[in-house]
């Protein structure tokens, strides 16, 4: 399905509302690449959709923009994360592998936002693959004593060992491990997602653990791109739907672990763009919450970058209705599974 400029323009309102089916949305996105002037309008519509989703005033009718805003307020988009995230995880592994294909020989020693060189970052991931596989009963990795809940510390011996190897060998070791885990996940099937596991000391579902890994691999792929001076890449809407859902639904745990729990209160999170949606979540673990004490509206990709600690909450372009201090606590708590 291909769209000319006028046909694409007619669909921008529905696109901003995330109301198109996948082929239509893909066609609009191709048209946005072909007709850059349309990007300005879709960005304006997307911002307006979220800004008015929690507003009380009724916008005057007449223009396309005003009609979109009116629909957005009356019918906020509901998140629809995919049930089976294993194909999305496979896609993310393939994406990181493709990024590592672009690393020149001389660039493996470049520093990344993760605090390691590219070589050391890949070595860290070798260890993480082994740990997560063991959590899912798909491997037998045992963290060094005292590092069972330390995402970084448990991989330090592996990083030290991999520094002595050529970066290409470390990269091959990660790819073997990563694809092995993908194969084991696919063989385990959907029954795997009915299980509860302990991930770095945090009780969670196996499905959430897989999405957290997808989050990490996307973040580190961008870490490598950033180190190489390449443009960052947004995940597709399916992966964003899975990641944004896990990030928002983990807020009760994040608020509790950060010492900022608000029993009896909830937050409304409105994320704009493909893969976004609207959530109302309690602000204390095991709590039923209550009426939203704060509403936070932001772009879904930027919100996920905050969750990955690659965008400071203070730098996030967002709107707040309610307590701004509580909004800040919410945005900091979303980084519970940060890479």
Q: Which of 233, 264, 288 is the last residue of a domain?
A: 233
CA distances to 113, 180, 221 from 99, rounded to whole Å, are 16, 19, 6
Q: Which of 49, 57, 58 is CA-nearest to residue 76? A: 49
State whether 221 and 318 are in the same domain.
no
Tell me whether residue 240 is in a domain: no
State whether 258 and 160 are in the same domain.
no
State whether 52 and 104 are in the same domain.
no
State whether 176 and 254 are in the same domain.
no
State whether 157 and 227 are in the same domain.
yes
Angle at 52 (CA atoms; ends 253, 317), nearest 5 degrees = 60
Residue 6 confidence (pLDDT):
81
Residue 284 confidence (pLDDT):
94
Q: What is the pLDDT of residues 233-277, one digit of tens each?
A: 999 999 999 999 999 999 999 999 999 999 999 999 999 888 888
State whether 43 and 91 are in the same domain.
no
Tell me whether residue 95 is in a domain: yes
CA distances to 55, 279, 291 from 154, rounded to whole Å, are 47, 34, 41
State whether 188 and 98 are in the same domain.
yes
Tell me whether residue 220 is in a domain: yes
Tell me whether residue 162 is in a domain: yes
Q: Computed from CA positions of residues 203, 204, 210, 216, in that sequence, does the dihedral angle turn out positive or negative?
A: negative
Q: Are strands 202-205 and 262-272 parallel, antiparallel or unpaired?
A: unpaired
What percent of the chain is helix, strand and coil (3-state, nearest 5)? 60, 10, 30
State whether 263 and 327 are in the same domain.
yes
Q: Which of 211, 233, 255 is the last residue of a domain?
A: 233
Tell me whether residue 126 is in a domain: yes
Structural domain boundaries enclosing 251? 246-337
CATH number of the domain encompassing residue 280: 3.30.1050.10
Tell me whether residue 221 is in a domain: yes
Tell me whether residue 200 is in a domain: yes
State whether 311 and 262 are in the same domain.
yes
Separation of alpha carbons 8 and 11, rounded Å = 5
State whether 38 and 91 are in the same domain.
no
Residue ranges, the chain, pLDDT below 50 = 47, 49-75
Residue 40 confidence (pLDDT):
64
Residue 263 confidence (pLDDT):
94
Residue 234 confidence (pLDDT):
94
Residue 26 confidence (pLDDT):
66
Q: Which of 233, 261, 286 is the last residue of a domain?
A: 233
Phi, psi of 221 (to 5 degrees): -60, -45
Tell me whether residue 171 is in a domain: yes
Number of independent structural domains in the chain: 3
Q: What is the pLDDT of residues 155-169, one digit of tens each?
A: 999 999 999 999 999
State whether 272 and 309 are in the same domain.
yes
State whether 50 and 138 are in the same domain.
no
């Amino acid at each position: 399905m291909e769209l000319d400029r006028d046909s694409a323009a007619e669909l921008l309102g529905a696109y901003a509302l995330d109301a198109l089916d996948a082929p239509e949305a893909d066609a609009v996105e191709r048209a946005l690449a072909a007709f850059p002037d349309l990007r300005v309008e879709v960005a304006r519509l997307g911002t307006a959709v979220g800004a008015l989703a929690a507003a009380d005033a009724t916008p005057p009718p007449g223009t396309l923009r005003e009609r979109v805003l009116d629909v957005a307020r009356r019918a906020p988009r509901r998140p629809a994360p995919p049930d089976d995230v294993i194909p999305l995880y496979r896609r993310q592994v393939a994406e990181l592998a493709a990024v590592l294909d672009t690393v020149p020989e001389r660039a493996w020693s470049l520093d990344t936002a993760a605090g390691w060189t590219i070589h050391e970052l890949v070595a860290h991931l070798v260890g993480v693959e082994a740990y997560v596989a063991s959590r899912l009963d798909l491997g037998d990795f045992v963290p060094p004593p005292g590092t069972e809940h330390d995402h970084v510390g448990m991989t330090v011996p592996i990083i030290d060992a991999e520094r002595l190897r050529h970066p290409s060998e470390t990269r091959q070791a990660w790819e073997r491990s990563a694809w092995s885990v993908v194969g084991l996940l696919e063989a385990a099937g959907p029954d795997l997602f009915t299980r509860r596991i302990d991930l770095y000391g945090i009780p969670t579902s196996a499905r959430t653990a897989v999405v957290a890994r997808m989050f990490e691999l996307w973040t580190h792929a961008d870490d490598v791109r950033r180190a190489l001076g390449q443009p960052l890449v947004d995940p597709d809407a399916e992966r964003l739907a899975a990641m944004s859902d896990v990030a928002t639904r983990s807020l009760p745990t994040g608020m509790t672990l950060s010492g900022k729990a608000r029993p009896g209160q909830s937050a409304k999170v409105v994320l704009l763009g493909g893969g976004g949606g609207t959530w109302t979540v309690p602000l204390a673990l095991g709590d039923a919450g209550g009426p939203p004490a704060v509403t936070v509206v932001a772009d879904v990709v930027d919100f996920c970058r905050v969750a990955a600690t690659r965008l400071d909450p203070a730098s996030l372009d967002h709107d707040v209705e309610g307590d701004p201090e509580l909004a800040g606590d919410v945005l900091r708590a979303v980084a519970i599974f940060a890479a």
